[in-house]
Amino acid sequence: MKIVFTLLFVLVNLFGAKVVEVEEKYQTSDKCKACHMHIVKEWEESWHSKSHYKNDEYFRATTDYVSRKTRRSLSSIKVECATCHNPRISVTSTGIDYEIMAAMKLDKGSKVNKALASSAIGEGINCVVCHNVDKIHADRDATVRGINRVSWTDSGVMSGPFNDAKSPYHQTKYRDFMDNNSEQLCFVCHANDRSESGHVFIDMQSEYKKSDKSCVDCHMGPKRESFAASLPIDNGKVKKRDVRTHGFVGAHTSSMWKGVLNLSLKQSGSDIDITIANPQPHNIPSGFGSRELIVELIYMKETKNIATKNISLTRHFLSKREKPTVPHLAVKSSKDMSIPAQGEKTIKVPNEKGATSVEVKLYYRLVNDEVRSILKLKDAIWTNKSFITSQKLKLK
């Protein structure tokens, strides 16, 4: 029996491809603060900084749920999710050998557990995730995402948007995906989300329609004159640059939603036609599959509210047993109710008898009721509604 245990332990420490290791002095963001303090502070407020298991309730609850339902070890699921959530992890896959070890509680000290406990991944998507990408393999199959879609620079070599950048602390290389073609870098992870069974529940790269807007225009803001580093490299002075904010604002930022979609109303016989237009370069909702638009109708008779209706535009996911589940365990899903990129969707709603006017309000929510209930999410951010726009219509 001892021989079997020893063999299993050896096997566990052999599997998984190794990524380029990051030297300790480059692993965490505090090492970058000496020269890039303002950028690090912006990043610290971002959700990129919270993408680790311990810092994101939705991610943590989903990971735990998938582990329970699939009867796979939690560590194995963490490694799988690390493909995008913690791309600098040193173990990229697990197998039956590790599952056996974990089931027998013999995985302590294994390569997997050491990798998951490493400070190199404790900050989620930090500086050395994006700025250590050397090449993006866009030619690889769409199922290959995250860590498996990139090649890394050598430790201590940072990629960036400036071809004249210099630093006494690390080498710097210009990369086009840090500048003109930034969506390539975003789509390494924000592109093709598949469930355990291979069901595609989000494919942002396919729905994306590039126009005068790119990902960074909204999520990092417009370029502004400032500086990227505080080093006096321009004749003894800090070099002025056109830079963007590293706060990576997104769906979780309520203020970002105001006016993102356009709304128009028209009475059509006994119905009201509600048209929602999306001028943005990707579908809304997009991102994780359980996101939701809420259309609220307030019917008035003169000055009296006589009825209120809510319509949910979201997707519902079913397991192999035809029961509601989370996107990551779905084998199929309901019709996509999102508003297409640079397109529109019209909803026909019956009028309320006696109403003389109607007001329609449009909101966004991060997680719909169904998935929030399944995962038992508690943070208020998952129930909050972000206001987008509203319109009023007089009825005949």
Beta bridge partners of 278: 343
Do the Cβ atoms of 13 and 110 come closer than 8 Å?
Answer: yes
Output the pLDDT for position 19: 60
Q: State the pLDDT at residue 104.
A: 85
Q: Give the chain's largest Cα–Cα span.
A: 84
* Contact yes or no for 179/161 (Cβ under 8 A): yes
First-to-final CA distance of the chain: 83
Provide the total of helices (H) and of strands (E) in the chain, helices listed first.
Answer: 12, 17
Query: Are 77 and 60 within 8 A, CB to CB?
Result: no
- Quote the pLDDT of residue 2: 41
3-state secondary structure 109-147: CCHHHHHHCCCCCCCCCCHHHHCCEEEECCCCCCCCCHH
**Hey, what are 291's tokens?**
């996101």
CA distance 90 to 15: 11
Q: CATH number for the 254-394 domain, one of 3.30.420.40, 3.20.20.100, 3.40.50.620, 2.60.40.10?
A: 2.60.40.10
Residue 339 CA to residue 284 CA, distance in Å, equals: 5
The neighbour count for residue 156, using CB atoms within 10 Å, is 14
Q: What is the mean pLDDT of each run of 10 residues along the chain (396 residues)?
A: 41 45 86 93 94 93 96 93 91 86 85 86 92 94 90 93 90 92 92 90 87 88 93 88 94 94 96 97 90 97 95 96 96 94 96 95 97 97 97 95
pLDDT value at position 254? 93
Q: What angle do CA 227, 234, 158 make, to 5 degrees?
A: 60
Q: Quick one: pLDDT at residue 72?
A: 94
Asked if residues 242 and 229 have their Cβ atoms less than 8 Å apart, the reply is no
| CA 352 – CA 391 distance, rounded (Å) | 17
Q: Is residue 165 within 8 Å of residue 231, measured between CB atoms?
A: no
- What ranges do the domains of the chain cover? 2-243, 254-394
- pLDDT on residue 192: 84
What residues does 203 pair with on adjacent strands? 192
Residue 12 has a pLDDT of 39
Give the number of residues written for the chain: 396
Alpha helices per DSSP H over the chain: 2-12, 24-27, 33-44, 57-70, 74-85, 96-103, 111-116, 127-130, 183-186, 204-207, 215-219, 369-375
